[in-house]
A and B are shown apart, each in its own frame.
Chain A
Amino acid sequence: MKRELFALAILALGVIVFPAALFVYQARQTNAGDARIIELVANAPHNGGWTPDVIRVRAGERVRLRISSPDVVHGLDIPALGVHVDEILPGHVQEVEFVATRAGRYAFACTRWCSVDHWRMRGVIEVTDAANASRPPVTFAPPLYQQLGIDLDAMHFAHNIPPRRPSAARGAALPLNVRADFRTQAPGDVFETLRADVANRAFDDSQLWDALAFAYFQNAGSDALANGARLYARDCAACHGERGDGTGPAGRNLPGLTVMHPDMARGPANFTDAASMLGASDVLLQGKVLRGGMGTGMPEWGSLYADQDLWDVVAFLRTFTFDSNLGK
Chain B
Amino acid sequence: MKFVFTRGRFNRFLVAASAACVMLAAIVVPLPVQASLPRAHTVRIDARTFAFTPGVVSVRRGDTVTLELEALDAVHGLYVDGYDVNLVAEPGNSAAATFVADKEGKFKFRCSVACGALHPFMLGELNVEPNLPFARALLITLAGVMGALALFWR
Chain A residues packing against B (C-beta within 8 Å): 44, 71-73, 89-91, 112-116, 118, 233-234, 236-239, 241-242, 248-250
Contacts and interface: CB of A to CB of B under 8 A. Distances in A.
Contacts, number: 66
A72 to B, nearest CB: 4
Given A72-B115, A73-B113, A238-B92, 19 more contacts: A72-B74, A72-B75, A72-B114, A72-B116, A73-B75, A90-B115, A90-B116, A112-B90, A113-B71, A113-B74, A113-B90, A113-B91, A115-B73, A115-B74, A116-B72, A233-B93, A237-B91, A237-B92, A238-B90
A112 B113 CA distance: 13
Contacts of B71: 113, 249
Interface in B92-142: 92-94, 113-116
Q: Looking at chain A's contact residues, is the secondary structure mostly helix, strand, loop, or mixed?
A: loop
B75 A249 contact: no
Contacts of A241: 92
B116 A238 contact: no
Interface size class for chain B? Answer: 10 to 19
Q: Which applies to chain B's interface (DSSP): helix, strand, loop or mixed? A: loop
Contact of A242 (B73, B92, B113, B116): B92
10 contacts: A44-B74, A72-B74, A72-B75, A73-B115, A89-B114, A113-B73, A237-B93, A238-B92, A249-B70, A250-B91
Contact of B92 (A44, A89, A115, A250): A250
A73 B71 CA distance: 13
Interface of B: 46, 49, 70-75, 90-94, 113-116
A90 B69 CA distance: 21
B79 to A, nearest CB: 16
Nearest to A90: B114
Chain A CB count within 10 A is highest, among B73, B94, B113, for B73
A248 B91 contact: yes
B6 to A, nearest CB: 61
A248 B92 CA distance: 6
A121 B123 CA distance: 28
B91 A249 contact: yes
A242 B75 contact: no
Contacts of A250: 72-73, 91-92
Most chain A CB within a 10 A radius of its CB, from B71, B90, B93, B113 = B90
A111 to B, nearest CB: 10
Contacts of B113: 73, 89
Contacts of B46: 249
Q: Among B73, B75, B92, which residue has the most Cβ atoms of chain A within 10 A?
A: B92
B52 to A, nearest CB: 14
Nearest to B90: A113
A44 B90 CA distance: 14
B28 to A, nearest CB: 44
Given A236-B92, A237-B93, A112 B70 contact: no
Nearest to B117: A71
Contacts of B92: 113, 233-234, 236-239, 241-242, 248-250
A239 B93 CA distance: 11
